[in-house]
Structure 1
Amino acid sequence: MSADIPDDAPAPRSFASVFDVYEVRREDEEVLYFGDPRAGQERLVRTVWPLFRERGYEVSLDRRMGELVLVAEPLDLGVDGVPWTNVLLFGLTVLSTLFAGAGWYYVQDLTSPAIVQALPFTLAVLGVLGVHEMGHYVASRYYGVRASLPYFIPVPTLIGTMGAIIKMRGQMPDRKALFDIGVAGPLAGLAATLVVTVVGLKLPPVTVPEWVLNAPPEQTMEIVFHYPILLKGIAWLLGEPLRYPNDPSLVVNPVVIGAWVGMFVTFLNLIPVGQLDGGHMLRAMVGETHERFAPVVPGLLFALAGYVYYVLDAGNAATLWVVWGLIAVFLVNAGSVRPVDDSPLDRKRVAVGVFTFLLGVLAFVPVPIEIIV
């Protein structure tokens, strides 16, 4: 056995009861412990993980060149240098949401300074998405789980983006950490969404220009956003309209569309399957029982697509749910996160989870967008 072990790394004898080490190597910053297991994988990881974590290492069980090896690498939760990829994607998403928002403010020349009129829309969309992902990031840092800063996804759509994601690496300590990291995004995002909703409803409506109102019917295309119960309820409490049926020259302020984005993204993330927030939460709440429920989710989404297509006669929305049904199939096959300590979750967190899923239901609408030609 090599003696080339860093002073701060655990000695093989400290976990000899579950892993018999016969060689230790160092490769760059990694410390590799080659050996033979003396316990099942679950017990092995549950035993060695806290030993390495308290010494500042992330550890995982791997197989290299046909040999079992515990791979330990220094735990670094900080951002290493300037995250240029994150910065670039964020900048591109600012531009893409500005261009998308220009349409909601009826700006014709996208190269003119008038495009800054769409800045409130951009701030609303990026605000709700960014706060959602930062909720995950902060919770991950709190529990010592390595996570990247948010990666925004710029796409030329009606809202200018496909959302944002963070990447997590390493073991999940326990169900409490899994739940808190999973629920932090939806709750933080919904809090931001409520603020954006109130601001958007209080801002003055946008006036539809004459060139739009007087356009021939064959040249017009109406895009209708259907609002979920949660957004309608806030509008009702504030006494603010979401439609202006008696005045076709007025439409709701585009910041409200940003609030719609926040609620729609919250619902999608709360779908209880795989690596989605809802999947993390349900796995933490019910343990391995989650694996029995997860395969049902794609079927429910496909059934929703059929209902929307045949009953509500909304083909575009049906396609959306078919796509998400396929995504759910992939997520089921990918599996869920298994925490190191799989002890049951406390009742308070279970109650928070149920409440959060109910908020997700209130943020749901079967036909999110309708395009009328």
Structure 2
Amino acid sequence: MFLATLVCVFFTYGWFWSNGRPLGDPETTRQSALFAAGLMSILLAHELGHYVVARRHGFALSLPYFIPFPFAFGTFGAIIRLRSLPRSRTGLLEMGAAGPIAGAVVAIIVMAIGLPDTLPPQSIDPAAGLMDTEIPGVLLTVLHAIDRVLSWGPIGDLLAWFATPVPEGHVPVAIFNNPPIMDLLGTLILGAPPGRFDTLSPLALAGWVGCLLTAINLVPIGQLDGGHVLTAVAPKVASRLSRVLLVVVLIGGSMLWLGWAFWAVLLWRLGAWRNLDVPEHPPLTPRARTIAGVVLVLFALTFMPAPVEMDSMPAAPAEAATPGAGPAPAEPAP
């Protein structure tokens, strides 16, 4: 499944984020390969962190299962199935924390390598790969082929109700907000954080996705990594807090980003909101308490209340576009 997920990430980036042919255009192939290598390195480090530390503490567990997904960023991450309950609070905490810490270290390295290739904002026009499309009666300029497919399908009428109002002479764009660690790295490497409308390089985007996955995993709910840490630190109240936080994420979080509602519903449907049982004794070791503090700092550095939001920016006049620079828009399927 690792290879299947790697291939899926490669093609998903090439088609949806680079707006080209992953195997037909050398530059798109290069960008897709960089993104796939960066993101899969982060996921692999995360899962190996869990696996190695869990084995050291005597857990019975499966190898990581990587999950391909042909939309968004090409993967739903990976899972490891525990075949035995934790023997101690320290073992549970160190196992739960090892994955996010290892993955975040690789994500920071990948992001640092990719940030110097970040592109400043330019006028949005066909030379940047944009295409005209429309939701019934609403002309839009879009970057990704999938947007055109949706606009031609039955869902187009529904999208018309949710189309973000855009001022005249502007076009809608999706904004990936910076996690605090990206602001810090940008200041150290570029002299300033990446701007709101900057285009992240493939490796910088892979690092951004790694931060997003780290933050989601560290939300202290149930069988997420953050839930394991919470259970180890406060086993008596962890289950009650998890239920409260699940509702907070579902209702409060979805007001900032609908993705939070998706993850909350997924956790509920899978039953993953339930915390593992762990013996109260022996108590946590000093090292485990220090690791819990590291996890808290890591969550603060990677968390984004609204990872993605819609905005708009000025469109360039049509005559400013470089003829033939962008890919020709595909014809709608009959």
Read off the aligned partner of 1:299 and give its amino acid letter: V
Corresponding position of 2:207: 259
In the TM superposition, 1:86-235 aligns within 5 A as: 89-103=1-15, 106=18, 108-112=20-24, 114=26, 115-117=28-30, 118-203=32-117, 205=119, 211-212=127-128, 215-216=131-132, 218-221=140-143, 222-235=173-186
Task: Name the structure with the higher strand share.
Answer: 1
Q: 1:102 to 1:328 in 2, by over 3 A?
A: closer
Identity score, percent? 26
1:273 match: 221
* Alpha-carbon shift at residue 328 of structure 1 (Å): 4.5
* Structure (1 or 2) with the larger CA radius of gyration: 1
Q: Distance in 1 between matches of 2:274 and 2:131?
A: 51
Q: CA deviation at 1:195?
A: 0.6
Would the aligned equivalents of 1:197 and 1:255 in 2 still touch at CA under 8 Å? yes
- Cα distance change on mapping 1:227 and 1:186 into 2, 3 Å: same
How many residue pairs are counted as aligned between the two chains?
A: 273
| Distance (Å, rounded) in 2 between the aligned partners of 1:127 and 1:104 | 21
Question: Could you say if the C-alpha distance between residues 125 and 300 of structure 1 is closer, same or farther in structure 2, counting changes exceeding 3 Å?
Answer: same
Q: For 1:214 and 1:286, locate their aligned partners in 2 and report how far apart those are by CA, in whole Å.
A: 51
Whether the 8 Å CA contact 1:201–1:240 is kept in 2: the answer is: no
What root-mean-square deviation, in Å, do the aligned CA atoms of Structure 1 and Structure 2 show? 2.9
TM-superposition CA deviations, 1:144-173 (whole Å, max 9, x none): 212222211111223111111111211322
Q: 1:370 to 1:338 in 2, by over 3 A?
A: same
Q: Please tell me whether residue 290 in structure 1 is matched to residue 241 in structure 2.
A: no
Shift in Å, 1:351: 3.1
Cα deviations across residues 119-151 of structure 1 (Å, max 9, x unaligned)?
A: 111011111111011100001111221222221
With normalisation by structure 1, the TM-score equals 0.65
Verify the 8 A CA contact 1:189 1:262 in the aligned structure 2.
Answer: yes
Match for residue 288 of structure 2? 349
CA distance in 2, matches of 1:280, 1:306: 23
Q: What runs of 5+ residues in structure 2 fail to find an aligned partner?
A: 133-138, 144-172, 313-334
Instruction: Say which SS state the counterpart of residue 76 (structure 2) adopts.
Output: strand
Cα distance in 1 for residues equivalent to 2:249 and 2:273: 18
> Using a 3 Å threshold, how does the CA distance of structure 1 residues 295 and 215 change in structure 2: closer, same or farther?
closer
Q: CA deviation at 1:192?
A: 0.8
2:292 partner amino acid: G
Q: Which residue number corresponds to residue 370 of structure 1?
A: 309
**1:131–1:148 Cα change, 3 Å:** same
How far is the alpha carbon of 1:213 from its aligned partner?
Answer: 5.7
What one-letter code is carried by the residue in structure 1 that aligns with 2:81? K
Aligned partner of residue 121 in structure 1, secondary structure: helix
